[in-house]
Amino acid sequence: MSIFIDGDTRVLVQGITGKEGAFWTKHMRELGTKVVAGVTPGKEGLDVDGIAVYHTVRRAVENHPLDAAMLFVPPRFTMDAVFEALDAGIKKIVTIADGIPLQDALRIRRAAVEYGARVVGGNTSGVISPGKAMMGFFPWWIERVYKSGRIGVMTRSGSLTNEVTAMVVEAGFGVSTLIGVGGDPVPGTRFAEMLPDYQADEQTDAVVIIGELGGTMEEECAAMVAEGTFTKPLVAFLGGRNAPAGKRMGHAGAIVSGGVGDVAGKTRVLKEAGAAVAERPRQVGILLADVLGTPL
């Protein structure tokens, strides 16, 4: 069992004929992803490496059973592409677009909740279950960093994800499923909404969250640990601990406002709930070994 995606997940790529869509579709297939159809308006009848292309998601669904949609669509068109996938009955969607207009992101979030769907992103590298499948644009050298294993990873960061995950692997562990929820202020899916899936997954022994200053996603995870709805070990690394007060770091989601969202406060709440918090990326693997009783 994997979270969100595995080797049996049948994936549609929206924007498949574009430069990025075609390039990363090929890479996703090389990593085991079952890409079965693509969509680009006006390009029906073409194919990309043997993958049939359709005008609309509805047309693709009529011809292929589909479980998930991967969007390589510009920010200003992302909302319409998400709505099209949702209307066609697709419940798992990943969108990598950076800079989705805030009002569009709010509408995407609301629609996902109404449809009972999971929209991951925007501003994310995507989702990967190592050795099984990938939706997104993790780099071609990914096999050196992302080894299959029993540690779930959720991340808000792009730059820190590879570094922290490499430390998980160096400590002798591997990853069950990594989900990049994205760095925008309004992600389609939040950390706490994914924790029940990791809790239910028999192939996940612990979860690592890679957080940042700004927002309340890490505090929401702490609340689930404190109330006992998430009972597996939780290890966190929080970027931005040395950021000046009130400073936005990196992207739109990493900003402290109204006195809420600073790393010190997040660290305190997580520790009080019983989670382990690493001060440096290398400590993540050490803390996993401590809480799981597994030697490095």
User: SS3 for 129?
Assistant: strand
Tokens 């909302």 correspond to 79
- Catalytic residue numbers read 251
For 162, the 3-state DSSP assignment is helix
Q: In what order do the strands lie in the sheet with 234-239?
A: 133-136, 126-129, 175-180, 148-155, 206-212, 234-239, 276-278
Phi (first) and psi of residue 280, to 5 degrees: -135, 155
Handedness of CA 230, 129, 71, 167 (dihedral sign): positive
Name which of 117, 146, 119 is nearest 134 in CA terms: 146
Is residue 103 packed enough to be buried (19+ CB in 10 Å), middle (13-18) or exposed (0-12)? exposed
User: Do 166 and 139 touch, CB atoms closer than 8 A?
Assistant: no
